[in-house]
Amino acid sequence: MHIVVFGAGSLGSLLGGLLARSHDVTLVGREPHVAAVEQSDLQIRGEIEAHVRPRARTDPPASADLAVVTVKAGDTETAAAALANCDLDACLSLQNGMGNEAALAAELSCPVLAGTCTYGARLAGPGKVECTGIGEVVLGPRGGGQSALADRVGRAFAEGEIETTVADDMPRRLWEKLAVNCAINATTALARVPNGALVDGPAAAVAERAAREAATVAREQGIDLSGDDAAAAALGVAEDTARNTSSMRQDVEAGRQTEIDAINGYVVAQSGDVDVPVNRTLAALVRAWEAR
């Protein structure tokens, strides 16, 4: 399968590199990373060790069987516009936050699948990516149910030796992942702590409350996600990725814009009459940092 990974940052480079072990992969990213991959291959280190040779460029190719989108939520519309000129059979979003699949589907003529990913990744330099934690890719139709296309894409990921589940309940899974991100990302970014600090200690209660609030909003929208399940999922990810630096903490430490509007901010925007004081506070504090 020819797979284009749009957004060859840390996660995109890791997944693209793993897929390149079994598929024809094109990474779409920025310089100098693209040039380094083209000239010297891609080195994967950490929990997974591999030396692979995907193609790399700064714009999408003319066609591909599958586009995997891993850009920040704020760049989704830019990705959609660029991929609109690429002849695709399918597109899969593996992004943080909510609303990405709808934005892609509005521009693309191919089916758009939803997905989540809990692999940990960090760019260690041009042409080098570190796997900081082995997780799982879950994918399926964005509206739920089953499809032959989702099965085909799931097999492609499995062939790349990526832990993969094809699910028929993606709306619930997306909200559960959102609850996990609400708990972990802003909390670790503001406190400057690794994910494991949320397992116990002063920030644990903040993270748990953020996840429970997200679950309450999800239920108001007809998603069967209990507060206990959301809190347990957040705790489980924090334990499994205890040494990891969350993506939002990486953004803050690098002085980049965050995905706060698509995570805690999204919960606030969708809350209606539901009281979400922890998510509202976390979103406001991160936005205050961004405004600075």
Instruction: Report, as residue numbers or ranges, the catalytic residues.
Output: 177
Backbone angles phi, psi at 50, to 5 degrees: -160, 155
What is the bridge-based pairing of β-strands 50-52 and 55-57? unpaired
10 Å CB burial of residue 238 (0-12, 13-18, 19+) is buried
Cα(232)–Cα(209) distance, rounded to whole angstroms? 11
Helical segments of 74-144, H only? 76-83, 100-107
Coil, strand or helix at 280: helix
Instruction: Specify which residues 186 forms β-bridges with.
Output: none
Buried b (16+ CB within 10 A) or exposed e, 74-89: ebbeebbebbeebebb
Q: How many CB atoms lie within 10 A of CB 10?
A: 21
Contact status, residue 112 vs residue 66, Cβ threshold 8 Å? no
